[in-house]
Structure 1
Amino acid sequence: MTTNTASTGPVWDWAAGHGPVTGALSATTGCLAVATTGAAAGMPPGWALAIGAAGAIGHTVTSLRDRLAARTIGMRAASWLIGAGWTTWAMATGPLSWAALGSLATIGVGIGAAARSTLLYEEARELEAIAAAERQVARALSAERRAIAAEWVDRIQRVCGITLRILAVEMWPTGTGFTIDAELPAGGTTYDKIAGYSAQLSADARLPHGCTAVASQGIHQGRVLIDVTTVNVLVEERTYPSDYGPLSIYTGIPWGYRTNAEEICVYLREQCALVVGPTGSGKTNMVHVILAGFARTTDVLTWVIDLNAGSAGLPWVRPALDANGAFVEDMRPGVDWLASTYEEALVMLETALAIGGHRKVAYQDLMAERNTDQLPISAKIPQIMLVIDEGAEILVSSDKRMRKLAEKILEVIRMLRAMGIRTVLTALGATGSVLGNLMIRREAKARVCLTGGEVEGMDLGKVFPGSRGLKVDQAPYKGAGFMGTPESPAALFKNWRILPNQIRDIVAATSDMHPQLDDISRQAAGDAYANRWAPERTAWMRATTHTPVDSGQTSGRPGGLNLSALRKEQPPAGPSKADEEELARKFREQIDAQFATAPEPGAEEQEQPPTGQGLNLSALRGDADSGPAWLPDAIAAIRSAGAAGMKPSAVADLVGRSRQAVRDALKAAAERGELVYRDKGPHSVYVHPDHA
């Protein structure tokens, strides 16, 4: 029986079991109490002996059931019989004599000593039984490992012509394979000679499809590790782990799992990444897995460029929008910035370059204090990860505008590593045109190639130069492929399936984890970053949250204007042209009465409303007054150029038209008030009214 010290004093723990001392004390005091009570009450002494015999028989039965040692069973039975014998004698002769009390004390000491001895013996028996079981398992494992070692020594000798000395065979805890640690023979044999026979070894071992035998570097150059997968974990689909806990750019971000079912992480503080995957291989899902990891990272801000309507980043923004298209209170989008157009992408890249350049100067004291030539990334100074969907295709595009984006992307990759701005590019194919850029091959050390069984355009040798034994048909499943990082050689992997409801859950769960852009970087980013979620720049996101209005009759239907003049196709039947012109004139007069609109060409000059307000129904006037089709893109580019404006020659290079045609169109746009002309002689420029 033990005692626990509490604030009110010692407390008896009645649930505790008896030890050698408390057990002997309990037995002797019990015998004394029974003998004293029996003698005073005149109880027949034989009853005590009968009770002791029954106790000895009961303990013997329970001890046998518990498989206790013979000495333990004998000690317990003897304790009952000796205690019963003393009680019978004491009841007959008197329990309170010195002889009775002395003999009882002697019996108590003997019972305590015997109990202690048998307890130690039982503990030793239990430990020995456990050790024996472990030795039996070890013998079985050792026999299995010896069989595996002998089998693979023979196989490698037969297939590769190399005689190995296997030092250890480690079974994977997941039960999906094992690793062989072997010593290479003398004479300069290297591990990559075995790596080149990966497919032959897998076939010789009759491994299931999706299972491989891959050789990699050992603890030194004279050792080799051979990972043998025996269970194909790539065939099953696993959802993204439900643990949305915080991550860091320094601790690694999980992007999938290997064939041994272990997670594989990327470390992107200094490295860029490249993800290659043809249509149907699971590349879009992979992008969402990447964005999920960045959303959980407490020292990363994610900027996404997707010129395909922003489809890669939009699911990470929409959960933070309410039914009216406004951001939900206390919820931040899963990405920090999303660009779906050329103009927005250009602004984003220029902002990244401005931030990186300013950081190089403004954080010199901090880097000197930390004694490092790299900016110390933290939640206060977050890293910016630019995820550019199909960015590799942008780099090889022949389009003039795409070439300008490509120059900015390469400038970010080349100049901003130390300042904590890195990129993740995706590509549709592993071809020479995509991977021919030296900058990509040098900086994108974390590489993923999703195959999905696709063979065309999947040159694994270009994605993972120097890696041997990689074959597309080893990963025929959607979401499966090969992944290599500086920390982990190229090998089979698979990414998790992430569903839209999980994206919503991750956005909600990680909203409080996202860092804020540091003040120094925010100062360099200016209004381009501060207004990234402005309504006029995110209207395309909000449009997806509303049901489109029927483009039929407008009268009697709520929901906005039916600007049918903007549609190329007109109804075949309807009013005459004169009636349409009269209707359009009345319609403009009604709108002018309520809203400020653009003036009619040739009308008298009137006070212009503030830029960006009201409706410009210039589409109702026909195409003759609105300029050529490329003019809106040119005006958008001039607006993006800010107060510096653009020269007509620069605009001509941008839109791919002759300089004379561009000058005429820009002059007409300036006369309409869409642009402002600044005459500076040979340095004359056109400026958008927003920056005039």
Structure 2
Amino acid sequence: MTTTTQASTGPVWDWAAGHGPVTGALSATTGCLALATTGAATGMPPAWALTIGAAGAIGHTISSLRERLAARTIAMRSASWLVGAGWTTWAMTTGPLTWAALGSLATIGVGIGAAARSTLLYEEARELEAIAADERQVSRELSAERRAIAAEWVDRVQRVCTITLRVVAVEIWPTGTGFTIDAELPAGGTTYDRIAQHSAALSADARLPHGCTAVASQGVHQGRVLIDVTTVNVLSEERTYPSDYSPLSIYTGIPWGYRTNAEEICVFLREQCALVVGPTGSGKTNMVHVILAGFARTTDILTWVIDLNAGSAGLPWVRPALDTHGAPVDGVRPGIDWLASTHEEAALMLDAALVIGLRRKVAYQDLMAKANTDQLPISGKIPQIMLVVDEGAEILTSTDRRMKDLAKKILEVIRMLRAMGVRTVLTALGATGSVLGNLMIRREAKARVCLTGGEVEGMDLSRVFPGTRGLRVDQAPYKGAGFMGTPESAAALFKNWRILPNQIRDIVHATTDMHPTLDAISAKAAGDAYTNRWDPERTAWMRDPTNTPAADTGPAEQSAVSNGLNLSALRNEQAAPVSDEDAAVRAFMEQIDQQFGTAPEPPNHPERPAAPGLNLSALRDEQADGPDWLGKALTAIEAAGPDGMKPSAVADMVGKDRKTVRAGLKAAAERGELIYRDNGPHSVYVHPDHA
């Protein structure tokens, strides 16, 4: 059996809707006519109509008073009931179907409709006026608050900075954690940094809580200043990484933390590199994970990680995608695209990055010409490679031979591959001259983060953010807090989110489908080093705790084995046991040297007779980086501060003769590890951080 539904035509009645002026008047008149006709036919007493009308008038008056309607509306409703009741009583007596009765009823209906329409418009106007009055009251209250803030800070800036401002606007932050003052600077060439350098004094004068600051920055033009005042310390509380894992892009910005006004701060790394500085315990490792989480959410970035500390920075992002045998887990891709934990793997990764960049320069010329740009258009099909190097700044300044090779390749990546979509994020343990002394780092790493965690030693903020005033380490004494500056956002306080291993695992699973794949041209250029990066043999160290990267043999031993040579000079031979008599003689000689310091030290490695016809590097003196005691001397000179240390004091400390110490310190100064301050008999050696 089939049923068919016939579409209805004509007007659709909404029986739940209330009466308007027309339907209300029509309902009232037809009701009166029906009641009068029925009453006349049945002999109903006419007084009943008056009673019903009086009751209706009283009821509507009470309900209208509860609704706080206007007096004219209450009068119109009551009058309608009484007039209708009066007509009904008259019609029941004289007859409701006469022309006089029907005509008068029609007139009453038109009058009720007109009165209802008039009162409805009046009530709407009255309601709008009430709403406007409330808004004006709120505005007056806000304006009064803003005027009070403006007057207070005009007096404060005048008192602390001796500058008279004219406040243009005061914006209360939606988060309720502070406000921004937009003001005009006085004539005469006054600049905003006159106020910025008094940030700490202004904060103290305003009695702001710890972690809250008053920071001045540039306005819409050079004659205006913006003063951001934080009133609630959002840096003291710990916030977890947002659970929103929605896709991101390198063009839309990647969130790395939040400001003191609780707003997210994003970085744009298409053309620039980044530098993250933070001492031990400041939350730098957590910051690295926050950075990797942001990269994992992007659809046009592949992340390569170099961490020579057993790969600890990248392991949590890889392990969820590999089973106990090193095979990939179905449906899960690692949160990072490549992880290097040894010098050899890092060299392969850097070589692949260089080859990819150079190949892209040639292979994508037509694509760049079509897009009318000199930069490679980055997309999900041609992703950008972000190279995250944990403690990379230390690699660049290391004097170790293998580290120098990696540093050279890292600098080549930074210098050559910006247009081809290969950028770096380097981390460092301290904001010192030895770490930030490389011009390439300072010039290319325009997105900079300095995590302080309350640490003062080795945290020179002027080196990380040159030209920025008013930044002090004690403003961010909390773990994970510090300062962040980008080309889009001036250096200021910020804090990053706390991210835990279980959330890292969740992010790896949630973002698996977002990760792009390396374009075919780049993958072919990288070769097997990239293709086989997740082979079980190359990732065995992730599963075997006894086969850590730190236990790998050095490159010299590996090359010797691979080339078939077994040179005794390259073997790790155990030292011969020392007899008691030899130990006593050695101790006696050390006491003589410490007391007199005149005996020349024998060389650590006596010259070996060169084998005829061979010049083996294994037999050469490898003490180019200085004698064994130099490390202790460098630490003592750095601790001495700007006063430095005399060579004689260093000789007494290390227990060596002065001639040997002078030669070692002079060689260190030539390598840039020390600075010699010539002052005659008071000449000293000073550490570069205190020069």
Q: Which residue of 1 aligns with 2:660?
A: none
Amino acid at match of 2:75: G
RMSD between superposed Cα atoms in Å: 2.6
For residue 266 of structure 1, what is the amino acid of its counterpart? V
For residue 33 of structure 1, what is the amino acid of its counterpart? Answer: A
Q: 1:228–1:522: structure 2 CA closer, same or farther, 3 Å change rule? A: same
Contact 2:324 / 2:543 at 8 angstroms: preserved in 1?
no
Pairing of 1:451-470 with structure 2 (within 5 A): 451-470=452-471
**2:322 is matched with which residue?**
321
Paired position in structure 2 for 1:149: 150
C-alpha separation between the residues in 2 aligned to 1:95 and 1:647?
129
Please tell me whether the aligned partners of residues 648 and 662 of structure 1 are also in contact (alpha carbons under 8 angstroms). no
Q: Name the residue aligned to 2:160.
A: 159
CA contact (8 A) 2:302 2:385 kept: yes
Question: Aligned runs of 1:492-571 on 2, under 5 Å?
Answer: 492-543=493-544
Q: Helix, strand or coil: the match of 2:527?
A: helix
Pairing of 1:6-405 with structure 2 (within 5 A): 8-9=8-9, 10-405=11-406
Retained in 1: the 8 A contact 2:216–2:228? yes
Alpha carbons of structure 1 residues 249 and 8: separation in structure 2 relative to 1, 3 Å:
farther
* Distance across 2 between alignment mates of 1:543 and 1:98: 108
1:648–1:663 contact (8 Å) kept in structure 2: no
Q: Separation in 1 of the partners of 2:565 and 2:40?
A: 124
Match of 1:602 in 2: none
How much has 1:256 moved relative to structure 2? 0.6
| Cα 1:36/1:462, change in 2 over 3 Å | same
AA paired with 1:61?
A: I
What is the DSSP-based 3-state SS (H/G/I as helix, E as strand, rest coil) of the residue aligned with 1:186? coil
* Alignment-derived partner of residue 450 in structure 1: 451
- Alpha-carbon distance in structure 2 between the residues aligned to 1:515 and 1:629: 35
How many angstroms apart in 2 are the aligned matches of 1:646 and 1:523? Answer: 31
Name the CA shift for 1:7/1:501 in 2 (closer, same or farther; >3 Å). farther
Please say if residues 325 and 536 of structure 2, whose CA atoms lie closer than 8 Å, have aligned partners that are also in contact: no
Amino acid at match of 2:190: T
SS in 2 for 1:257: strand
| AA of the residue aligned to 1:304 | V
The residue identity in structure 2 corresponding to 1:221 is Q
8 A contact 1:281–1:478 mirrored in 2: yes
Aligned to 1:641: none
Q: Distance in 2 between matches of 1:323 and 1:41?
A: 97
Q: Tell me the residue number matched to 1:634.
A: 559
Distance 2:289 2:395 in 1: 20
Shifted more, 39-48 versus 307-316: the winner is 39-48
Alpha-carbon distance, 1:8 to partner:
4.3
5+ residue gaps, structure 2, are: 1-5, 571-604, 620-691
Q: Quick check: 1:216–1:224 contact (8 Å CA) kept in 2?
A: yes
- How far is 1:388 from its partner? 0.9
Which residue does the alignment assign to 2:415? 414
CA distance in 2, matches of 1:416, 1:629: 30
User: CA 1:630 to 1:378, structure 2 compared with 1: closer, same or farther past 3 Å?
Assistant: closer
5+ unaligned residues in a row in structure 1: which ranges?
1-5, 549-562, 569-625, 639-644, 665-692
Q: Secondary structure at the match of 2:209?
A: coil
Q: CA deviation at 1:386?
A: 0.7
Q: Deviations over 1:449-480 (max 9, x none)?
A: 01000001100000000000100000001111
Distance 2:72 2:94 in 1: 32
Query: Residue 170 of structure 2 contacts residue 181 of structure 2 at CA under 8 Å; is this kept in 1?
Result: yes
Displacement after TM superposition at 1:542 (Å): 3.2
Q: CA deviation at 1:41?
A: 3.2
2:435 aligned with 1:434: yes
Distance in 2 separating the partners of 1:409 and 1:629: 21
Looking at structure 2, the residues matched to 126 and 646 of structure 1 have their Cα atoms a distance apart, in angstroms, of 96
C-alpha separation in 1, matches of 2:460 and 2:618 = 47
Change (3 A) 1:393 1:82: same
Give, as a single letter, the amino acid of the residue that structure 2 aligns with 1:141: L
Could you tell me how far 1:441 is from its partner in structure 2? Answer: 0.3
Deviation at 1:167, TM superposition (A): 1.1
Measured in 1, the distance between the counterparts of 2:126 and 2:79 equals 21
Aligned length: 569
Partners of 1:43 and 1:59 in 2: CA distance: 25
Distance in structure 1 (CA, Å) of the matches to 2:564 and 2:423: 30
Q: Once the 2 structures are TM-superposed, how far is the Cα of residue 84 of structure 1 from its aligned partner?
A: 2.1
TM-score, L = length of structure 2 = 0.79
Note if contact 1:168-1:180 (Cα within 8 Å) is conserved in structure 2. yes
> How far did residue 360 of structure 1 move?
0.5
SS at match of 2:167: strand
Point out the more displaced range, 126-135 or 478-487.
Answer: 126-135
Cα distance in 1 between the residues matched to 2:231 and 2:7: 60
- 2:67 counterpart letter in structure 1: D
What is the CA-CA distance between 1:99 and the residue it aligns to? 2.3
1:366-405, Cα deviation, whole Å (9 max, x unpaired): 1111111111111111111111111111111111111111
Deviation at 1:239, TM superposition (A): 0.9
Specify the code of the residue in structure 1 equivalent to 2:27: S
CA distance in 2, matches of 1:8, 1:417: 68
The CA deviation at 1:83 is 2.0
SS in 2 for 1:166: strand
